[in-house]
Amino acid sequence: MRLLPSQRKLLFDALVDSGVQMSKISGDMEQGAITVKGTPFYFNLGVYLPKVIMRNSDREPQWQISMSPGRRGIDDVFQVPLFEMVSQHAQLWGGLVDAELKIEDPWRVFEPPGAISSGGDNSPFTDSEAKIVVAFLEGIEEMLLENATRNHTEIKQDIAALKAAPQSCGRNQFSKWFLGVLGSYAIEATIPKEVLAEAWNSFQQLAIDQLGYIIYEASKLFP
């Protein structure tokens, strides 16, 4: 399916008007397909031919739109008779995509240690740096246990795993792992958020002063 230049312009202008970040958009007008880089979102066009033909009427083809996110928060498939209506729905879709892209995923704190964020320093710890991390965690363990209302055994197990981590994972992986552990305590209300914030801020400072890297991750769980 090949779109006319006028139709391509209508579609492009609709997305611009929606406010979505156009650098995120990837389009294949030969296939009538629009996607959003790094996401499962899409806006696809096709031609729909009605199967039921009314007496004395023409078999009018319609534009078929499939899009995600859809109008009700789920994937959507429907037909419209005019391309002007296609552009209206493209603008609606762009607005939905823009809203979704602006939402920070709170579940990121539970990413496994193997998940590496772009731009982070994931170089391995040296032996001396690993010892610094272990010594730091011993102090953090004492602080967490003093302020925990429950789950002392779980905290000890978490810290023990973190102490072994510098031998097998890089800086960024370890940072995410440590943040995920603290985030779980915040969600479970096991430890006051101000204590967790102090632990995280202390680690960020340790990374700068003694480990030679800057942590770009931040958490709204304990601002």
Q: In whole angstroms, what separates CA 68 from the centre of its chain?
A: 16
3-state secondary structure of 190: coil
pLDDT tens for residues 137-157? 999 999 999 999 888 998 999
d(CA 144, CA 69): 41
Task: List CB contacts of 92: < 8 A, sequence separation 6 or more.
Answer: 18, 71
DSSP label at residue 30: T
Residue with tokens 């979704």: 100
Give the pLDDT of residue 168: 81
Q: Is the pLDDT of residue 166 over 70?
A: yes
In this prediction, residue 64 has a pLDDT band, given cuts at 50, 70 and 90, of very high
Give the pLDDT of residue 122: 72
pLDDT tens for residues 95-108? 999 999 888 766 66
Give the pLDDT of residue 51: 63
Minimal CA–CA distance to 172: which of 115, 134, 104? 115
Domain map (residue ranges) of the chain: 5-101, 106-211
**Least confident span in 80-84, 166-170, 195-199:** 166-170
**Least confident span in 33-37, 49-53, 137-141, 164-168:** 49-53
Give the pLDDT of residue 222: 55
pLDDT tens for residues 81-133? 999 999 999 999 999 999 998 887 666 655 544 443 434 567 888 999 999 99
Give the pLDDT of residue 97: 94
